[in-house]
């Protein structure tokens, strides 16, 4: 069966390398949507009634949709959700430090970062600055793709047992960026990079990123090695799926919802716990001439696929996986089920995604976490409880989740995108 999207492993690599922070993810997706005829809307303005392709950005979150196909005010939604953030090391509010003749930048872990994977890597900086503009503020994206930071490992000879060290997130993840007995101003450096005065920088959200480029690897190019696959693998696949759905629409309004702050619980103005998705969906109905009753009818018939990466069975640790639920790299998208609702999948949602995979001609794998290990979660349960939508948790398989560098299958990139495209375009 021909692919429903133009998603490729090399395309994913380019996407990830262009998107070192959640704000850059939104910038990357917005550029692709604009090139495909999507119009950016702002929440403070009235929205047009004309059927078209639209998107909006709230900080590090983005929602996009197309109303070109359906004329019904109560048309249901098909939603692919994901998140733009990834675990990393972020810059503290007073970052300038000095210790033992080294100039340091104070960092702290964000989310469940696998700290040892961040040691001895060449790190850049990205994020956004809030800059004084007269009596107002403007936002400046900043990105430094030079190796300015490094968190050094302790020499094995200084370890107590030569088996490794226990990393303290307060003391052991500060980054070296120079030599000297007095601190150097990190914010002044970044202000200069952004082309603004240092005293004009009033707020910031800044994070490190690994500078090694993403790559298609393996003997036959069957793997993708990249940072931030969790969850930019879904951001890329979801954006390709939405673009395909806009060209070949089904019987529902296709929506892509990418949220920031999933890795720290989603409790923010733009996380999955916020009003973002509900307010956008209601305003879509209102802009099309519908009322509250139409909105409630639309929601009752809608389904959301919460897309997040899934655990492939690790060849060196097969005992850490449920024995009868082997998940293979390049084995197709993964349906994630947890009886204690760490994933939101129920029978109806599972059926909807299984049908989508069948239509897309891709295999479906089913994942269950070991009952004696704590299971991670996604935006799925949050979205289901905040919206009342039938929700299914899905993903693409990978290894080394929450490491600074992760691994997935090259063939899983188009398979995942095709499954999401089919999900966005249901047909009676």
DSSP H helices, 99-247, are 186-194, 229-247
Q: Is 261 annotated as a binding residue?
A: no
Helix 412-424 crosses helix 347-360 at what angle (to 10 degrees)? 110
Beta-sheet pairing, 39-40 with 53-58: parallel
419: which DSSP letter? H
For the chain, the C-alpha Rg in angstroms (whole number) is 22
The CA distance from 121 to 102, in Å, is 17
Which among 417, 382, 375 has a CA at the least distance from the CA of 396?
417
Whether residue 231 is preceded by a cis peptide bond, meaning omega within 30 degrees of 0, is yes
Q: Is 369 annotated as a binding residue?
A: no
DSSP E strands, 211-356: 215-217, 223-226, 253-259, 303-307, 310-311, 334-337
The CA distance from 336 to 25, in Å, is 25
The CA distance from 228 to 20, in Å, is 8
Strand order in the sheet with 303-307: 39-40, 53-58, 61-66, 253-259, 77-83, 303-307, 390-395, 334-337, 365-368
Q: Is 83 annotated as a binding residue?
A: yes
The CA distance from 167 to 188, in Å, is 29
CA angle, residues 421, 267, 124, in degrees to nearest 5: 75
Annotated binding site: 83, 157, 402
Annotated binding site for Zn(2+): 83, 157, 402
């Amino acid at each position: 069966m021909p692919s429903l999207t133009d998603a490729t492993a090399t395309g994913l690599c380019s996407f990830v390398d262009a998107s070192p922070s959640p704000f850059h993810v939104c910038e990357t997706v917005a550029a692709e949507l604009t090139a495909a005829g999507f119009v950016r809307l702002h929440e403070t303005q009235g929205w047009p009634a004309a059927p078209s392709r639209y998107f909006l950005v709230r900080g590090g979150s983005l929602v996009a949709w197309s109303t070109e196909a359906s004329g019904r005010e109560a048309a249901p939604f098909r939603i692919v959700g994901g998140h733009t953030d990834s675990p990393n090391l972020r810059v503290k509010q007073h970052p300038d430090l000095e210790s033992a003749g080294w100039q340091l930048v104070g960092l702290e872990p964000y989310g469940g970062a696998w700290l040892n994977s961040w040691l001895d890597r060449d790190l850049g900086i990205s994020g956004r600055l809030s800059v004084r503009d007269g009596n107002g503020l403007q936002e400046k994206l900043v990105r430094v793709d030079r190796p300015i930071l490094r968190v050094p490992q302790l020499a094995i000879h200084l370890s107590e047992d030569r088996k490794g060290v226990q990393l303290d997130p307060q003391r052991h993840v500060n980054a070296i960026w120079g030599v000297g007995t007095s601190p150097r101003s990190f914010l002044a450096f970044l202000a200069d990079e952004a082309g603004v005065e240092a005293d004009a920088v009033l707020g910031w959200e800044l994070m490190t990123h690994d500078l090694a480029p993403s790559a298609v690897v393996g003997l036959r190019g069957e793997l993708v090695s990249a940072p931030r696959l969790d969850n930019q693998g879904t951001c890329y696949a979801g954006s390709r799926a939405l673009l395909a759905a806009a060209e070949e629409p089904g019987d529902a309004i296709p929506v892509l919802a990418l949220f920031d702050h999933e890795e720290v619980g989603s409790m923010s103005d733009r996380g999955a716990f916020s009003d973002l998705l509900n307010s956008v969906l209601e305003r879509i109905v209102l802009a099309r001439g519908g009322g509250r009753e139409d909105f409630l009818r639309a929601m009752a018939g809608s389904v959301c696929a919460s897309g997040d990466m899934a655990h492939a069975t690790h060849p060196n640790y097969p005992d850490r996986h449920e024995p009868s639920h082997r998940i293979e790299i390049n084995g197709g998208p993964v349906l994630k089920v947890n009886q204690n609702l760490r994933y939101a999948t129920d029978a109806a949602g599972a059926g909807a995604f299984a049908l989508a995979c069948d239509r897309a001609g891709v295999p479906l794998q089913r994942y269950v976490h070991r009952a004696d290990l704590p299971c991670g979660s996604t935006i799925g349960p949050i979205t289901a409880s905040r919206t009342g939508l039938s929700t299914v948790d899905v993903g693409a398989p990978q290894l080394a989740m929450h490491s600074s560098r992760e691994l997935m299958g090259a063939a899983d990139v188009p398979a995942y995108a095709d499954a999401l495209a089919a999900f966005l375009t249901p047909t009676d």
